[in-house]
């Protein structure tokens, strides 16, 4: 087995490991993990307007802020957004 | 080239088509601001930064990025990133062109570690969206559109600073092709790591190469040829698989994509 074949074989193994690791991370993070994005902060995640909708996924951070960014005529939404801003938990530069 | 441009335009439209619904629980490996009024997906860099700030390991997003990385490398940078398309179009503007030293290409790793991980991690929730505050695609896709939509800006001075930074980057991009990808993009830095093992990569047939150097001249990322026969060394961290080298190669396309 020459060096090129050895490299290809090693590369295939690393590639397979990469795929397995990434799928494991996706499954653990997206399906099994009960970890919620706001556990590390003082924000009460259950107050989040779209909590029920997004609670199954870890990316609640972006989705939630996306939701807040989008804004609706939901009064709770606006009040919550303003409170986050007041508490400096929502990025003040963000044009939302 | 025409096919790639078509795909880039399609991607631009597809990634910004959330007029009726959005899929912000998922990220694509491109720099497309999730605060854009019509963005379909969340931005991986924004999400990673926020997870760092909240001291939570980003299992899901990291899994998605690694999966795309090991399968496709930086293919999305060359074929799907809207800001990549923006850069390529800007570079067509006639202006004084400059070259950027390869030494500066390492700066994107520094930016990735500092702005996406270290600062948010150390400053916690006070630094949510730290990179987003200075992100040029974010300014272009989110800050400016929202300023127009709402008719005002939340804070004037930071907004002006963002615009000035964006204009500086535009100036740089106009004079050096894809310079944002080369020296700044933290997502490109992260995805580039997987170029070494990804399923898709550019392969050069050294036996048939006549060393004309045409492939180097057209490469938007400034990748240089490797005369080394070792495959590992042929895989550049910067390659975005745009295939311009393959199209230019006179030795009957002795460069191509391999699996």
C-alpha to C-alpha distance for B161 and B133, rounded to whole angstroms: 10
pLDDT in tens, A59-69: 333 334 433 33
pLDDT attached to residue B78: 93
pLDDT attached to residue B128: 65
Q: Are residues B133 and A93, on separate chains, in Cβ contact within 8 Å? A: yes
pLDDT attached to residue B234: 67
The interface predicted TM-score of the complex, written ipTM, equals 0.81
**CATH number for the domain formed by residue range(s) B200-258:** 3.30.70
pLDDT attached to residue B12: 93
Q: Are residues A38 and B54, on separate chains, in Cβ contact within 8 Å? A: yes
Average pLDDT over residues A50-59: 36
Q: Are residues A15 and B197, on separate chains, in Cβ contact within 8 Å? A: yes
pLDDT attached to residue B57: 82
pLDDT attached to residue B200: 84
Nearest to B244 by CA among B256, B236, B226: B256
pLDDT attached to residue B51: 79
Average pLDDT over residues A71-91: 51
pLDDT attached to residue B54: 72
C-alpha to C-alpha distance for B45 and B210, rounded to whole angstroms: 41
Helix (H), strand (E), coil (C) string for B73-105: CCHHHHHCCHHHHHHHHHHCCCCCCCCCCHHHH
Q: Which residues, in sequence order, are CB contacts of B86 under 8 Å at separation 6+?
A: B137, B140, B173
Q: Where are the domains of chain B?
A: 2-193, 200-258
The answer to whether residue A3 neighbours chain B at the CB level (below 8 Å) is yes
Say if residue A57's pLDDT is above 60. no
Closest partner CB to B232 (pick from A7, A25, A66) = A7
Strands B23-27 and B41-42: parallel
Residues 47-76 of A with CB under 8 A from B: 54, 57-63, 65-67, 69-70
| Chain A residue nearest residue B148, CA to CA | A95
Q: Are residues B125 and A42, on separate chains, in Cβ contact within 8 Å? A: yes
Q: Greater confidence, B206 or A25?
A: A25
CB count in 10 Å sphere of residue B195: 22
The answer to whether residue B152 neighbours chain A at the CB level (below 8 Å) is no
Burial class (CB in 10 A: 0-12, 13-18, 19+), B28: buried
The DSSP element (H or E) to which B23 belongs, if any, is strand B23-27
pLDDT attached to residue B109: 95
The answer to whether residue A12 neighbours chain B at the CB level (below 8 Å) is no
pLDDT attached to residue A9: 81
pLDDT attached to residue B252: 55
CB B140 within 8 A of CB B86: yes
Instruction: Return averaged pLDDT per consecutive 10 residues of chain B, 259 residues in all.
Output: 90 85 78 82 83 80 91 92 94 90 91 92 75 88 81 77 93 94 94 89 76 85 72 76 84 57
């Amino acid at each position: 087995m020459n060096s090129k074949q050895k490299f290809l074989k090693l590369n295939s193994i690393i590639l397979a490991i990469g795929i397995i690791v990434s799928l494991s991370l996706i499954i653990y993070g997206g399906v099994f993990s009960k970890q919620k994005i706001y556990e590390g902060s003082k924000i009460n995640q259950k107050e989040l307007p779209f909590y029920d909708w997004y609670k199954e996924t870890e990316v609640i951070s972006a989705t939630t802020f996306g939701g807040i960014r989008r804004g609706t005529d939901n009064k709770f939404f606006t009040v919550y957004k303003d409170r986050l801003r007041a508490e400096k938990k929502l990025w003040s530069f963000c044009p939302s | 080239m025409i096919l790639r441009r078509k795909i880039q335009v399609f991607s631009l439209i597809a990634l910004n088509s959330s007029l009726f619904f959005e899929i912000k629980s998922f990220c694509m490996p491109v720099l497309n601001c999730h605060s854009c009024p019509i963005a379909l997906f969340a931005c991986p860099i924004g999400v990673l930064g926020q997870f760092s700030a909240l001291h939570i390991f980003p299992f899901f997003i990291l899994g998605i990025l690694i999966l795309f990385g090991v399968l496709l490398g930086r293919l999305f940078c060359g074929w799907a990133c809207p800001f990549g398309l923006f850069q390529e179009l800007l570079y067509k503007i006639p202006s004084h062109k400059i070259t950027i030293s390869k030494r500066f290409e390492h700066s994107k790793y520094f930016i990735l570690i500092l702005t996406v991980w270290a600062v948010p991690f150390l400053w916690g929730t006070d630094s949510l969206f730290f990179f987003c505050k200075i992100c040029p695609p974010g300014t272009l896709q989110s800050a400016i559109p929202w300023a127009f939509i709402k008719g005002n800006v939340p804070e004037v001075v930071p907004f002006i600073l963002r615009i000035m930074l964006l204009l500086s980057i535009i100036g740089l991009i106009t004079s050096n092709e894809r310079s944002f990808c080369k020296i700044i993009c933290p997502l490109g830095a992260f995805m580039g790591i997987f170029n070494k093992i990804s399923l898709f990569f550019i392969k050069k047939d050294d036996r048939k190469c006549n060393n004309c150097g045409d492939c180097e001249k057209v490469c938007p990322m400034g990748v240089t040829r490797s005369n080394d026969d070792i495959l590992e060394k042929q895989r550049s961290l910067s390659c975005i698989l745009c295939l311009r080298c393959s199209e230019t190669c006179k030795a009957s396309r002795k460069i191509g994509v391999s699996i």
